A = this chain, B = another copy of it.
Amino acid sequence: MNDSYLKFVNSPFGARLARSLGLPKPEVLRRYRADRPEFEGLVAIGAGREPRLLDALANLIASIGVTSVAHESAGLWVPLANRHGLMTGRFEPAESGSQGKLAALLFDASGIEDSSQLAPLHGFFHDTLRSLGRCGRIVVLGRPPEACASPRQWTAQRALEGFTRSLGKEARRGITANLVYVAQGAEGSVEATLRFFLSPRSAYVSGQVVRIDTGGATAPTSSAFDWSQPLAGRRAVVTGAARGIGASIASVLAAEGAHVIGIDIPSARDALDATMRQLNGTALAFDIAAPEAPAQIAAALDEQGVDIVVHNAGITKDKTIAKVAEAAWQSVIDINLSAQERIDDALLAAGILRDGGRIVGVSSISGIAGNLGQTNYAASKAGVIGRVQSMAPQLRARGITINAVAPGFIETQMTAKIPLTLREAGRRMNSMSQGGQPVDVAQTIAWLAHPGAAGVTGQVVRVCGQSLIGA
């Protein structure tokens, strides 16, 4: 829960010592606070040939109320911004003393159709990266490779992944870099996702690749949202909500306006009650592993229905396969994976999860990369990925999205018990040189639960500060 190194090197004395010894100096990440502006500062715009997303970006810039400057690669930006009634200027390079002046770098790569056309990416980031301030944001926008008309275009768009991930690894200073692929026709559905990636809400999300498609049958238009209370009137179920990451998820969803129904095991009833009381939520004490639980949960939710289901409850029983007993091994699969399947199926079959709903499963980096002593846990968390990939097409007609978040090293009571050396390695082996906070997972889930994220489905988003570890 407590990264004392992070605090130390950000104290006056510690900073001096770290500098003189060449120690890593993790940045204190700027996180969302309701009492501070979510968006501020200058945003620099760059583009490749024939950019197709500048209109969408102009709408976004207008909506979040920041000022833009155009890099020379984005010659179309100034007249376009003027047509949108936006103040805008031209980017002045770092030599003229603009270090740290920029809050975000946005590059529209959507028109790049061949690997020989990638040079503007170099031009823009070469010129602007040093001017990006601490905890700045980088978003590269492209087209989903697999939907491209030609292999050349697919290849060039796919190359953006290696580029953006490398940028994330060299930017440091709490800067995030993410890649958003916008499908043709989905240009009007980018705002909720771009807001997230530009906001301090995504403080610990970097090196990720997200696709926005045209959304399900019931995708609402951007103008329909109250951006300050996007979940107002929605009912959200969160499993494992008594403590830790689950309580944080419940709290963020409630802050966004949702009525939260927290579920946890009967032995955690007191903590669950206390958490839900604070949020004006509803507490349901059920053991999700029990065979009767799905029907009981469905019955409890039947009358009012539900819009958001977050499968956060999970357990670990770490032992190498040669040592772990079958019952322990199987219980991890059952609680972390099979229970999600049973509960979703019950809620979907009875229509309790409403059309336009949201399902978010909590996976893990272990489910992506595997982990020593976690054959059971990693299998269950890889299964969660299979679940969102397999269910997404089936739920599309009802406008329901299903996605997974995959946390990396998050500071919790669980990680506080990891032996010091391993804990330090987990904390430092990522682009932020620190562990994340439960709220980072919660904010990512709140974005996926947003009514404006209708075009984001079947995806896995890591909340890991761009951990080195992967597959």
A contact residues vs B (CB 8 Å cutoff): 114-116, 118-119, 121-123, 125-126, 129-130, 145-146, 148, 150-152, 154-170, 207, 320-322, 324, 326, 329-330, 333-334, 337-338, 341, 366-383, 385-387, 389-391, 394, 468-471
Contact = CB atoms under 8 A, between A and B. Distances in A.
Contacts of A167: 321, 370, 375
Contacts of A154: 386-387, 389-390
Contact of A378 (B166, B320, B322): B166
A207 to B, nearest CB: 7
A372 B469 contact: no
A470 B370 CA distance: 11
Contacts of A118: 330, 333, 379
Contacts of A321: 122, 125-126, 129, 167, 170
Contacts of A471: 161, 165, 207, 470-471
Contacts of A334: 116
A322 B130 contact: yes
A166 B341 contact: no
A395 to B, nearest CB: 10
Given A166-B370, A381-B162, A383-B162, A151 B390 contact: yes
Contact of A390 (B145, B341, B378, B382): B145
A386 B157 contact: yes
A458 to B, nearest CB: 11
Task: Label chain A's interface by main secondary structure.
Answer: helix
Contact of A158 (B151, B163, B170, B382): B382
B165 A378 contact: yes
Contacts of A162: 366-368, 370, 375, 377-383
A169 B122 contact: no
Interface centre among A334, A370, A391 (most CB of B within 10 A): A370
Given A116-B338, A118-B379, A122-B321, 17 more contacts: A114-B338, A122-B324, A126-B322, A146-B389, A158-B389, A160-B382, A162-B366, A162-B368, A162-B382, A163-B378, A165-B378, A166-B378, A167-B370, A169-B370, A369-B470, A470-B471, A471-B471
B382 A163 contact: yes
A115 B161 contact: no
A163 B372 CA distance: 10
Contact of A337 (B123, B159, B170, B326): B159
A142 B330 CA distance: 19
Contacts of A378: 162-163, 165-166
Contacts of A121: 375, 379
Given A163-B378, A166-B378, A170-B375, A337 B115 contact: yes
Contacts of A333: 115-116, 118-119, 159
Contacts of A326: 119, 122-123, 126
B322 A129 contact: yes
A388 to B, nearest CB: 9
B122 A372 contact: no
21 contacts: A114-B338, A118-B333, A122-B376, A125-B322, A126-B321, A126-B326, A126-B329, A129-B321, A145-B389, A155-B341, A156-B383, A159-B379, A160-B379, A161-B385, A162-B366, A162-B380, A162-B383, A163-B379, A166-B370, A166-B372, A469-B469
Contacts of A375: 121-122, 125, 162-163, 166-167, 170
Interface centre among A162, A330, A371, A394 (most CB of B within 10 A): A162
B389 A207 contact: no
Interface centre among A166, A378, A389 (most CB of B within 10 A): A166
Contacts of A151: 341, 387, 390-391, 394
Contacts of A166: 366, 370-375, 377-379
A375 B169 CA distance: 9
Nearest to A159: B383
Nearest to A163: B379
